[in-house]
Amino acid sequence: MSFSDPAAVASYADGPPRFVPGFVDMQRMARVLLAERAPHDARVLVLGAGGGLELAAFADGQQGWRFDGVDPSAPMLALARQATAAHAARICLHEGFIDAAPAGPFDAAACLLTMHFMPAPERSHALRAIHARLRPGSPFVVMHLSAGLDAAGCARWLARDAAFGIANGVDPAMAQRRREVMARDLHVLGPAQDEALLREAGFDDIEVFYAGGAFRGWICHA
């Protein structure tokens, strides 16, 4: 999926709330789970921070947290700066992939709606790199498309994704384009594979905290 197209970037913030069931509550729960172990002045790493939706949600709810956000798309980082302008003094944005992130140590980390863009080897590298930057015992929340399905099952869930967006007011032609791009570009693993990658990267206490349609989210600890 292209995050360099100006029209796609401009409309990005409308997408997740319309296509991801319970999106706002999922963000709030992610923040709550991070706060279980993160201190009031935590330093938090956010991978896939372009757009700024989770940065804004986390910063609004935790006035003492400081953030490093990483994303490979310059236009999406520009959008994140706009979305988080009220918290600019507490947020540092880095253009690139996970290796562009500071070494830390961080007190918490999050990666929401990002891992499904990565093939398994790249995903494994990102998880290991996040783990290496966290203090021992620090929380990590991760959420993305995760469904162990055959081709027919994937097609069925893509159709449901489009129908859910249309039910939330998305133009049907736009929903169909999204469906086609997702089928072509995303790398969707099954929940068991996703949990295995988390364990292999060194995370433990792995628990599902969110399930909506074909999306799954986990809380775990370094």
Contact between 197 and 120 (Cβ < 8 Å): yes
0.85 exceeded by pTM = yes
CA–CA separation, 219 and 221 (whole Å): 7
pLDDT, position 182 = 83
The string of pLDDT tens digits covering residues 65-107 is 999 999 999 999 999 999 999 999 999 999 999 999 999 999 9
Rg, the chain, Cα only = 16
Percentage of the residues of the chain whose pLDDT score is greater than 90: 75
The string of pLDDT tens digits covering residues 99-146 is 999 999 999 999 999 999 999 999 999 999 999 999 999 999 999 999
The string of pLDDT tens digits covering residues 156-214 is 888 888 899 999 999 999 888 888 888 888 888 999 999 999 999 999 999 999 999 88
Contact between 145 and 214 (Cβ < 8 Å): yes
Mean pLDDT of 58-63: 97
φ and ψ at residue 105, rounded to 5 degrees:
-80, 150
7 pLDDT tier (thresholds 50, 70, 90): low
pLDDT, position 64 = 98
pLDDT, position 6 = 60
pLDDT, position 172 = 92
CA–CA separation, 81 and 40 (whole Å): 23
The string of pLDDT tens digits covering residues 21-45 is 999 999 999 999 999 999 999 999 9
